[in-house]
Amino acid sequence: MDTKLTLNVDKEIIEQAKAYAKAHKVSLSKLIESYLSSLTSKSSKGAEITPLVKSLSGVIKIDSDFDYKEGYTDYLLEKYK
């Protein structure tokens, strides 16, 4: 059963949301309902991993003692020399 809800939202945000909903051919009410549903859904504990991502898993071999932060720092230092 649908129930009416009154919200106070910044006018610019409403206009942007209306444009987004129109571009995606969905009503603003449905868009907000879907968003609230995704926030409150207890069954979704994480993002679903797509078959493409699953197929890429394990493609790159990294040493177990690899320091990600140090590696990224080295990359940035080299990039911005």
Structure tokens at 39: 């926030």
Residue 76, Cα to own-chain centre: how many angstroms? 26
Look at 14 and 44; give whichever has higher pLDDT.
Answer: 14
Inter-CA distances, 51 with 32, 48, 54, 62, Å: 29, 10, 5, 22
Q: What is the pTM of this model?
A: 0.49
Share of the chain above pLDDT 70, in %: 94
Q: What is the pLDDT of residue 30?
A: 92
pLDDT in tens, 33-50: 988 888 887 665 667 788
* pLDDT value at residue 44: 54
